[in-house]
Amino acid sequence: MDIKQLARTACTRFFSAIPALGLIFFLPAGTFDYWQAWLYMALLFTPMFFLMRYLIKNDPALLERRMKMKEKAAEQSLIIKLSYMYFLATFLLPGFDRRFGWSNVPLWLVLFADALVLAGYILVMLVFKENSYAARTVEVEEGQKVIDTGPYAVVRHPMYVGVGLLYVLTPPALGSAWAMIPAIFLIPLLIARIVSEERILAKELKGYTEYQQKVRYRLLPGVW
């Protein structure tokens, strides 16, 4: 894909995602008077826009990798399909929660969750800066090397740490306690994806087994 076509496709997806996510939040809420959703969208899409610009200019190959959606491994494909269901529930429930007043999440917790959501996204951005092969799908490309610097020197899957923070903290950031239920179910799916991914990387990526011995923990230092 040439750079102009890549930029057009990326911009189209980005600017389509804004109203789409707005519908997911505000339609169930039945109102635009939902400040938690407005703040969340600002925190999500502002760094996303600058990241998109950065990748178009500095690493279009990574941007193209991130735009590929289809998993080659059947196991990974199943995990992603299940994840989409929980993602949708996690994003839909807060609107209904806002409409019917099911939760009373305090202001400090909303803002704290927003800060962690932003921190999660910043961590993902740092991963992209460090690893040009941080594709959305699990595959090993020709010429790909093991990355063991930056956040990869701390845990083997720093991007999933950022993604986990982003999604698990989304419900309180949107003022919903009930949406934590589907969000929590994303954790075992994330673990399953990591275990499956590591089997592929250990088999196909040269030096990965040595990296596993060097960096012992996958997500949380001292835990797992």
Decide if pLDDT at 105 tops 80.
Answer: yes
Q: What is the mean pLDDT of the chain?
A: 92
Decide if pLDDT at 182 tops 90.
Answer: yes
Phi/psi for 2 (5° steps) reads: -70, 165
Give the predicted TM-score (pTM) of the model: 0.91
Secondary structure of residue 221 in the 3-state scheme: coil
pLDDT of residue 222: 86
Decide if pLDDT at 77 tops 90.
Answer: no
Cα atoms in the 13 Å half-sphere on the side-chain side of 17: 13
C-alpha span between 102 and 8 (Å, rounded): 41
Residues 113, 115, 120, 124, Cα dihedral to 10°: 150
What pLDDT band is residue 218 in, cutting at 50, 70 and 90? very high
Q: Name the residue among 151, 156, 155 with its Cα closest to residue 123.
A: 151
Decide if pLDDT at 71 tops 80.
Answer: no
Q: Give how far Cα 75 sits from Cα of 2, 22, 186, Å.
A: 32, 32, 16
Phi/psi for 207 (5° steps) reads: 90, 0
Decide if pLDDT at 74 tops 80.
Answer: no
All domains in the chain, ordered by first residue? 3-214 (1.20.120.1630)
